């Protein structure tokens, strides 16, 4: 077999490792899937109605929750990589004659699968609550694509943070910090209803671009035409920074 085939089979083996872990801990997987649903129900019905959003709040909230779920994926990725680092599992992989990148590729593939599953569950629950996308199949596919692209950027930030810090304590810090960062977005409320400076910060949040573009593609409230470009460029820009940084950091574990 050639190096390229090894790279593929090793990456697939690493992905399967994650799938086997899911099978071992179905409850944890279930909790991971149910959590965003809980948030959706909480904000949709309990806390109810975002500031500055008139009319169809569910139509506004669902894209926001989808984007927030992708953003929260960061901590899961970071936790998994940190655990592997601290348990010495990554050392074992690195001492083996396997394709170097497979550790990171397998992690990405598994996390993307999990996020795709998360999106599907959230969309299904939203549909059951009466929410409907109005952008047709193309709009739906485009929205899912944008969300997964955003998740992919979060994933590499997560890998990079784990490789830089490598300490479980820092994962905890990030788990707390994703909340304010997640809420400093337009996921729940219209930035127009916020103080000027805050609205500006919120609009700069890459997650807000994704949420706005997804709203547009779903034909719901809060969508702005022409936002798709920003929702593509922001994640790509983050990837351009963090993917090479993470890969370099991984290679530098031998320093």
Partner 1 sequence: MTDAAITVEDVRKTYGGGGGTNRPALDGLDLTVARGTVHAVLGPNGAGKTTLVRILATLLRPDAGRVEVAGCDVVREAYAVRLRIGLLGQHAALDEELGGRQNLELFGRLYHLGARRARARAGELLERFELADTGHKAVKQYSGGMRRRLDLAASLITEPEVLFLDEPTTGLDPRGRAEVWESVRSLVGGGTTVLLTTQYLEEADQLADRISLVDAGRVVADGTADELKAATGGDRIDIVLRDAGQLGAAVALLPVPKDTVSVDTDRRLLSAPVTDRMAALAGVVRALEEAGVEAEDISLRRPTLDEVFLRLTGHDDRVKEAA
Q: Going residue by residue from 141 to 160, which x/- string records binding to partner 1, judged by CB under 8 A?
A: --------------------
Other CB atoms within 10 Å distance of the CB of residue 88: 10
Stretch binding partner 1 (CB under 8 A), from 33-41, 87-95, 144-152, 187-195: 87-95
Least distance from partner 1 to the Cβ atom of residue 1, Å = 7
- Alpha-carbon span 63 to 104, nearest angstrom: 29
Least separation in angstroms between residue 47's CB and partner 1 is 35
Q: How far is CA 42 from the centre of its chain?
A: 20
Residues 223, 229, 233, 236, CA torsion sign: positive
Nearby residues of 100 by Cβ (< 8 Å), 6 or more positions away: 94, 250, 251
Q: At closest approach, how far in Å is the CB of 95 from partner 1?
A: 4
Nearer CB in complex with partner 1: 41/251: 251
How many other β-carbons are positioned within 10 Å of the β-carbon of residue 53? 20
Q: How far is CA 137 from CA 118, 140, 173, 178, in A?
A: 19, 5, 39, 31
CA 22 to chain centre: 18
Separation of alpha carbons 115 and 69, rounded Å? 8
What whole-number distance in Å separates Cα of residue 106 and Cα of residue 15? 4
User: Mask of contacts with partner 1, 91-130, x by CB under 8 A?
Assistant: xxxxxxxx---x----------------------------
Q: Does 254 contact partner 1 by CB under 8 A?
A: yes
Tokens of 233: 């460029």
- Please report whether residue 8 would count as binding partner 1 according to CB under 8 A: no
Span of 14-22, 64-72, 165-173, 222-230 interacting with partner 1 by CB under 8 A: 14-22
Minimal distance, residue 124 CB to partner 1, in Å = 27
CB of 78 to partner 1, least distance (A): 17
Asked if 30 touches partner 1 (CB under 8 A), the answer is no
Selected range binding partner 1 among 20-28, 40-48, 209-217, 241-249, rule: CB under 8 A: 20-28
Q: Is the CB of 4 or the CB of 20 nearer to partner 1? A: 20
CA separation, residue 103 to residues 20, 89, 116, 204, 213 (Å): 15, 10, 20, 33, 32
- Name the one range near partner 1 by CB under 8 A: 18-26, 67-75, 131-139, 190-198: 18-26
- Judged by the rule CB under 8 A, the positions of this chain that interact with partner 1 are 1, 6, 9-10, 13-14, 17, 20-21, 24-25, 86-89, 91-98, 102, 253-255
């Amino acid at each position: 077999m050639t190096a390229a085939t090894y790279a593929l089979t090793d990456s697939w083996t690493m992905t399967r490792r994650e799938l086997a872990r899911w099978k071992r801990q179905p409850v944890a997987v279930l909790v991971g899937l149910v959590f965003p649903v809980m948030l959706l129900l909480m904000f949709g019905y309990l806390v109810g109605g975002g500031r500055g959003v008139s009319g169809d709040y569910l139509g506004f909230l669902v894209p926001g929750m989808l984007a927030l779920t992708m953003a929260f994926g960061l901590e899961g990725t970071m936790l998994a990589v940190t655990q592997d680092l601290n348990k010495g599992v990554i050392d074992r992989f690195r001492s083996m004659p396997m394709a170097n990148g497979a550790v990171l590729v397998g992690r990405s593939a598994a996390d993307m699968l999990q996020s795709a599953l998360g999106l599907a569950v959230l969309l299904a629950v939203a549909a059951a609550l009466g929410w409907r996308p109005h952008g047709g199949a193309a709009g739906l596919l485009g929205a899912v694509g944008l969300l997964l692209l955003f998740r992919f950027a979060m994933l590499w930030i997560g890998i990079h943070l784990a490789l830089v810090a490598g300490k479980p304590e820092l994962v905890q810090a990030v788990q707390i910090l994703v909340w304010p960062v997640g809420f400093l977005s337009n996921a729940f409320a219209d930035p127009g209803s916020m103080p000027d400076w805050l609205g500006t910060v919120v609009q700069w949040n890459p997650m807000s671009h994704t949420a706005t573009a997804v709203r547009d593609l779903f034909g719901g409230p809060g969508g702005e035409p022409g936002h798709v470009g920003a929702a593509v460029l922001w994640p790509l820009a983050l990837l351009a920074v963090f993917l090479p940084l993470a890969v370099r950091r991984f290679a530098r574990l031998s320093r």
